[in-house]
Amino acid sequence: MDWGMKNRMAQLIQPDGRALFLPIDHGYFQGPTRRLEEPGKTIESLLPYCDALFVTRGVLRSSIDPNNTKPIILRVSGGTSMVGKDLSAEGITTSIEEAIRLNVSAIGISIFVGSDYERESLLNLAKLVDEAERYGIPVMAVTAVGKELEKRSARYLALCSRIAAELGARVVKTYWCDDGFEKVIRGCPVPVVMAGGPQVDTEFEVFKFVHDGIQKGSIGVNLGRNIWQNDFPLAMIKAIRAIVHENATPEEANDIFNSIKEDSKIQMARK
Ligand code: 5RP
């Protein structure tokens, strides 16, 4: 591996081998997602606690201070929307020159295995890897399910993750699943981070799945809505950081969450 590639990977994956990526890219197909209407404000207090930010170039330029030194994973696929015919018909939206100009640590692209546009999205990934590797930039593949959240079975996720790695992704982002997640990890020869999907009912559920996924070999998370759509996003990211980087149990993470939540309530009442 070249120095540049090694250095970028080291920016993303911390010395303990773990990673907490904070995605705020949802607007590229969802528009002004709830609590991400003003991305700069959403992440203000959260930025110090993530290891990298997953973002499009538009939000990076308009909402992130260039003095920020957090590693950037640039979302470079898109071209479809929630109201369009088919979310899976994505193309490449951002050139490799732009990624270099923006000084990013990695680029990210979605693949849609099993969809009508499976072939296009997989060939887009392969082409992107060819270009990005030339400049020492790692590609993170996002195994997207579009609106079909029920697709999140171990068999399907293992298939997508392995294909992404075979085509050259250096990191794979996939979903955690209840049954057989260890098979997803075993079948994927590159590091796997877990996304959260839509907000779940309780914080404890999030802590449990993040903890379980890490026990089964995931290196961490690329977790968005379950952090910044929570009423107490700072408490949420700190609790998740404790699981990812300090091996906290779900119960310990819950205690961290509750104590920061109580402090925040006191501070809010004082204002
Ligand atoms: C959306 C993405 C997100 O980065 C990914 O889904 C993680 O976010 P969340 O935890 O909110 O699902 O690829 O396009």
Residue nearest to ligand 1 atom 5, measured at CA? 195
Where residue 122 falls (left for φ over 0; alpha for ψ -120 to 50; beta otherwise) is alpha
φ, ψ for residue 242, nearest 5 deg: -65, -35
Span 218-233, pLDDT tens digits: 999 999 999 999 999 9
Nearest C-alpha neighbor of 126 from the set 136, 106, 111: 111
Indicate if the pLDDT at residue 105 is higher than 80. Answer: yes
**CA 219, CA 222: separation in Å to the nearest integer?**
10
For 54-93, b where at least 16 C-beta lie within 10 A, e where not — what string? Answer: bbbbebbeebbeeeeeebbbbbbbbebeeeeeebbebebb
Indicate if the pLDDT at residue 183 is higher than 90. Answer: yes
Where residue 92 falls (left for φ over 0; alpha for ψ -120 to 50; beta otherwise) is beta
- Ligand 1, CB within 6 Å, residue ranges: 23, 25-26, 54, 142, 195-197, 222-226
**CA 229, CA 33: separation in Å to the nearest integer?**
9
- pLDDT score at 146: 66
What's the whole-number mean pLDDT along residues 178-196? 96
Span 65-83, pLDDT tens digits: 999 889 999 999 999 999 9
Residue nearest to ligand 1 atom 4, measured at CA? 23
Q: Which CATH architecture has domain 3-270?
A: Alpha-Beta Barrel (3.20)
Indicate if the pLDDT at residue 269 is higher than 80. Answer: no
What does pLDDT average to over the chain?
95
3 state SS of 141: strand
Taking the CA of residue 144 as reference, the ligand 1 atom at the shortest distance is 13
- pLDDT score at 208: 97
What's the whole-number mean pLDDT along residues 49-76? 96
What are the sequence ranges of the domains in the chain? Answer: 3-270
Taking the CA of residue 108 as reference, the ligand 1 atom at the shortest distance is 13
**CA 94, CA 81: separation in Å to the nearest integer?**
17
